[in-house]
Chain A
Amino acid sequence: MRRRSKIKINPKYALIVCVVLIIGLIIFSFRYGEKLSPVKNAVSTVITPMQRGVNSVGTYISDQLDNFSNINELQEENTKLKEQLATLSYQNKLYLQDKYELDNFRTLYEVDKQYADYPKVAARVISKDSTNWYNVFKIDKGSKDGMKKNMNVLAGNGLAGIITEVHYNNSDVRAIIDDNSKVWCMFSKTSDTCLVQGDLQLIDEGKIFVDFIDKNAQIKDMDEVYTSKESSNFLPGILIGYVSDIKLDSNNMSKTAHLTPAVDFQHLEEVLIITELSEPLID
């Protein structure tokens, strides 16, 4: 009992002190957010290896379970895939031949490649934001692997998100389906631009909201949408997804639509990070 008698503060006063402190902290971080990043960095450097460990244990267990349950399915799939591989590799050869031809033509016409092959690095998704409200996740590469803020993140063949914060051995990625995300895009067929905005209400249907399409744009369902050159943080020419439900906006000035992303955000495990940054706009 000796010890307990020493700390006897009225909780009311403690609460007031803490609330004042936190409000001070909120204002401070709002004003000078960068000053606190070493603290954030230190904390996440300690926690991230644990998350990675737990994550790999989880992967191991679920893999083992999967192994038991669907060996048969896998074998079937394997035979199917082998057939597919054979046909595809034949096609690929044809395409390669075409590509050589195309390259020749290009050099003849001195046209640069429109969408260069960007250099990429692979990373694993190790954790999700602790709330259910946001679609922000962590990857296991950080500043020590050369990650930088605003690098674009791909998964499969489409855009998944953008790096919003870099720590020593991990970085935060905001998915394009996040409620705060906005990307300027364009339709590959007509070159009309549009703004792709994440919306929490559409996530369940696996869709994103598309706004500010030109009223006269000749687009139809399943048209492909790519990132446009107007976007300051995203590299041009990355596939985002396919448009659907095109509607004339109530203000009669523009069209809105929904977009099905090319990335499967439900099962995001491996991602690719483009290590080239979009050139900043100079004013």
Chain B
Amino acid sequence: MKRLIIYTIEIIICYVLQTSMFCYIGLADIMPNLLLILVVSYAYMRGRMTGMMLGLFCGLLVDLMSGGYIIGLYALIYMLIGYCIGYTYRYYSNDDYTLPIIIIAVGDLAYGLLFYVFEFLLRGRLNFLYYLRRLILPEIIYTVAVSILLYKLLHMINNRLEHKSGEEA
């Protein structure tokens, strides 16, 4: 229960920061994808099920807020990423801070590609290299830079929760 509340708060904080601080922390018009960091970190720390559910709810929030015509597309993208990254749970180690960063980079790349295919390729925008250079790569770099800090924070929260639930049992 406590976990659920904390997840909810984390999702909302990440979303609000990502959307509202745009003019203060955006570099060259690019924002780090905090929600993706959240989903991927938990998928890595807690496995497929958590990654998937967290991805589903992050995506739904983005869907409902972004004013797009179709609801569910982001939910699908985030959920698939959460689920797939969940497979890396078996390599999880408590004091490895390098692997998760690489996984986050891979996750963001997957996100960029899926997003390009669903939203731009289907509308006939074929100049993939341009989008890769201008949007996908900068977003990955910035996301990775932010994730170095954010992952540590999330990891700390997760450890504390784990510790608590261990005591209860």
Q: Which of B15, B52, B134 lies in contact with A14, CB distance below 8 A?
A: B52
Q: A33 and B65: CB pair below 8 A?
A: no
Taking residues whose C-beta sits less than 8 angstroms from the other chain, chain A's interface range is 35 or more
Contacts of A25 in B (CB 8 A): 71-72, 75
State whether the Cβ of A11 lies closer than 8 Å to any Cβ in chain B: yes
Known: A2-B169, A30-B70, A43-B61. A22 touches B19 (CB 8 A): no
Contacts of A61 in B (CB 8 A): 24
Taking the closest CB of chain B, its distance from the CB of A142, in whole angstroms, is 12
Q: B12 and A22: CB pair below 8 A?
A: no
Q: A11 and B72: CB pair below 8 A?
A: no
Contacts of A129 in B (CB 8 A): 19, 66
Q: 0/1 per residue, B75-101, Cβ < 8 Å to A? A: 110011001001000000000000000
Q: Which of B23, B61, B67 has the most A CB atoms < 10 Å from its CB?
A: B67
Q: B22 and A54: CB pair below 8 A?
A: no
Q: Which of B29, B69, B86 lies in contact with A132, CB distance below 8 A?
A: B29
Q: B35 and A130: CB pair below 8 A?
A: yes
Contacts of A94 in B (CB 8 A): none
Give chain A interface residues in 1-39, CB to chain B under 8 Å. 1-3, 9, 11, 14-15, 18-19, 22-23, 25-26, 29-30, 33, 36, 39
Known: A19-B79, A25-B75, A172-B67. A133 touches B135 (CB 8 A): yes
Q: Which of A14, A40, A50, A52 lies in contact with B12, CB distance below 8 A?
A: A50
Chain A interface mostly helix, strand, loop or mixed? helix
Q: A164 and B67: CB pair below 8 A?
A: yes
Chain B interface mostly helix, strand, loop or mixed? helix
Q: B66 and A130: CB pair below 8 A?
A: yes
Q: Which of B12, B52, B71, B73 lies in contact with A18, CB distance below 8 A?
A: B52
Give chain A interface residues in 144-188, CB to chain B under 8 Å. 164-165, 172, 179
Q: B16 and A50: CB pair below 8 A?
A: yes
Taking the closest CB of chain B, its distance from the CB of A38, in whole angstroms, is 11
State whether the Cβ of B64 lies closer than 8 Å to any Cβ in chain A: yes
Q: A200 and B131: CB pair below 8 A?
A: yes
Known: A11-B48, A25-B71, A30-B70. A43 touches B64 (CB 8 A): yes
Q: 0/1 per residue, A117-137, Cβ < 8 Å to B? A: 000000000111111110010
Contacts of B22 in A (CB 8 A): 127-128
Q: A11 and B67: CB pair below 8 A?
A: no
Q: 0/1 per residue, B133-149, Cβ < 8 Å to A? A: 01100010000000000
State whether the Cβ of B31 lies closer than 8 Å to any Cβ in chain A: yes
Q: B71 and A29: CB pair below 8 A?
A: yes
Taking the closest CB of chain B, its distance from the CB of A132, in whole angstroms, is 5
Contacts of B73 in A (CB 8 A): 26
Contacts of A133 in B (CB 8 A): 115, 119-120, 135
Per the bound structure, the CA–CA distance linking A54 and B22 in Å amounts to 11
Q: 0/1 per residue, A45-63, Cβ < 8 Å to B? A: 0010011101100100110
Per the bound structure, the CA–CA distance linking A210 and B130 in Å amounts to 20
| 26 contacts across the A-B interface (CB closer than 8 A) | A11-B49, A11-B52, A14-B52, A23-B76, A29-B71, A30-B70, A39-B64, A43-B64, A47-B15, A47-B61, A50-B20, A51-B20, A54-B20, A55-B21, A127-B22, A128-B19, A130-B19, A130-B35, A132-B135, A132-B139, A133-B119, A172-B67, A179-B125, A200-B131, A201-B127, A201-B134
Identify 20 new A-B residue pairs, CB closer than 8 A, beyond the known A22-B79, A40-B64.
A11-B83, A15-B48, A15-B52, A15-B83, A19-B76, A22-B76, A26-B71, A29-B70, A36-B71, A47-B65, A51-B16, A58-B21, A62-B24, A130-B31, A130-B66, A132-B31, A138-B19, A201-B130, A201-B134, A266-B29
